[in-house]
Amino acid sequence: MRRIEVPDAAPDDPLPLLLRDPRAVRPLPHPADCLWLRLLDLPAALTARTCPPGLRMALRVADPAGHVDGVWLLRTGADGSAAVTPDGGPADLALDAAALAALHLGGEQASRLVAAGLATELTPGAARRADTLFRTTAEPWCPDHF
């Protein structure tokens, strides 16, 4: 077989590892993940994740629709569980709802968002901590076209 085409493969699909020469794999010119997320209930979304233990981060989220607007305190327990509560104190990282959704899925890094001007580090090292907090083992991907 000379050519295999898999148009809806996930970005981290293990298929290339099964080929004799995984370096021969060429990504499609315009990959699309067909995935969009809008967080409506931040405590429910973040507590449903498993997080690294022993982290504390306050996020200032700007949301024109008001669903997740405000400062949110996220604390992770020794078992990887998370507790999220509204907080009136100072924030470590400021971002909008769209940037937070990208972080939530694990497909983006806070440090990249800060470098692009899409998030603001209010406490030194906050972006690096957020990178650790939101890291996932698999890249987000949705094969359904809608």
For 42-78, the pLDDT digits (tens) are 999 999 988 889 999 999 999 999 999 999 999 999 9
Indicate the pLDDT class of residue 20, thresholds 50, 70 and 90: confident
Over residues 82-119, the pLDDT tens digits come to 999 999 899 999 999 999 999 998 888 999 999 999 99
Indicate the pLDDT class of residue 29, thresholds 50, 70 and 90: low
Contacts of range 114-120, beta carbons closer than 8 Å, 24 or more positions apart: 119/93, 119/94, 119/95, 120/93, 120/94, 120/95
pLDDT of residue 80: 87
DSSP, res 7: T
Q: How far is CA 12 from CA 45, 53, 138, in A?
A: 23, 25, 7
Q: Tell me the sheet residues that pair with 94.
A: 60, 120
Give 13 or 100, the one with higher predicted confidence.
100
pLDDT of residue 58: 97
DSSP, res 15: G
In this prediction the pTM is: 0.79
Residue 70 CB neighbour total at 10 angstroms: 15
> What is the phi/psi pair of residue 72, to 5°?
-125, 130
